[in-house]
Structure 1
Amino acid sequence: MSKLKRAVCAVATFGALMASGAAHAELKAFYTFEDSLNDLSGNGYTGSSANGAGYAAGHEGQALDLDDALNQYVSVSGLDINPSSMPAITFGAWVNAGAESAVRGVLSHDDGGFDRTIDIDFRGTSTGWSAFLGNGVVHGAPVTTGAWTFIALRHDQATGALSFNVDGVQLDVAGVTFGEGYGDFFIGRNPCCDAPFDGRIDNVFVYDEFLSDERLSEIRLGGASAIAPVPEPQTWLMFGIGALLLAGVARRRCAILRTC
């Protein structure tokens, strides 16, 4: 086998190895609400505004601005967060509540079965940022109206592990399994119960993996730049090694042929 062929094979091998590692966790959807409902993950899950949902100053740049009196929210057709579609999941956002009341949906696909949802709820120990458990509600932290708050829910259907994070404070619950809810994703509303959110929501993200504590902390501290899809470090390494291999072969070929 020629040196050039060996180099190409080496690059291909590195590419396959790196791609297999990078494919483990995928950003399925990401919304920064910079005057649009475009999905920045590249997967094409563009949101649809209901009842005139608009934009206002956000945690970073612009945010989705919702008025509960007008039942404003965003629906994302085809973004399926059911356990059958995403056995493991991490989803969350930065949220600024304009009002606190009994039940206000933030991120949900609930059809009435306490499906994967983050909301403001009174059915935990007290009213506040809450998450559903498949058969009930867990309270995470009180709501401070007018303040930006990071909230995220992680769940693994296979292990039953659930973790609810509010501004870096984590609540872990074991043995949680969910049934099937709607096959669409809702921002600013629980679709089962007509419970709209009042306030602003920014940088909504959905991953198809139970992210590590360290990765979730990076997102909480780094904001949109820590979420935005960029080439993985191992991808740059792959290209660098490939370039060096090919450059070495080219130099040896030039030296032999004296044509460069």
Structure 2
Amino acid sequence: MSTPADLLTFEHKPPPPGTARQADLGAVVYREWALLARNRVYLILGLAPMLIYLLLVNTSLSNLVQTVEYKGLAVGFAVFLLPMTLGMSVVSAAGTSAMAIFQEEMSGVATQLWSYPLRRSRFLMGKMIAGVSLVLGQSLLGLIAAVLIFEFPFDLEGWLALLVTLALASLAINGLYLAAAITVTDYQAFMVGSNLSLPVLVFSAPSMYTYDSMPTVLQWFSHVNPLTYAINGMRDASLFGFAEAGRDMAILAVMAIVGYTIGGRALLNRARNI
């Protein structure tokens, strides 16, 4: 016969290792999504620049400039500007995602996270999945808005190549911003740099103009501008397909690997100092 003491005795059984690992990553992704999606100010700031350029700049300049000669093809200006608006969305959303690093430290959440037996690889992977999904989701919203406003003469391969390049651009730009946020320890310095980086990256890349029409200094700078390869890749992918955009897609993939590698190492060093 069981006694009251026996009824109050609980036996704790830890979950199997595989289940614990899955729950570990799932919890991080859920937390990161909640942190990013519930901050409406950052979401608005991430969408606003892209929608402003899409609704105002694209529509007004499309009436002024009818077509652009691009690689021997006469391209409508709204079609030519589409990669720029998507690139702006990627940069804005990546900056929003990277801001979460400083939110955690200033609120003291980072100390609690590093006090918990959480694997650093799961934390970095969770941030990558949540950040890239936010960046890609906001960019897809911009693409849907553009499709509703303008007509794009892309075939099936062009649309597929555009989406693949957009996903690679989201990975690369988000990885670079995440690495910068983890490496830079001053919140104000990162915030200033993040806000200034949007116009610098956009207008020093062949966004509203072709590479040949850019001043020589900007041509030099465009070669080290990561947004150049995102814009050129999306433009070539949508107009000519996978083959023409292969080089830019490969460069974006390398950028993503470098960004998350630097971010992962910096994250370990930063966790030790907390």
Query: Which TM bucket (shorter chain)?
Result: under 0.3
**Higher share in helix:** 2
TM-score, normalized by length of structure 2?
0.23
TM-score, normalized by length of structure 1?
0.24
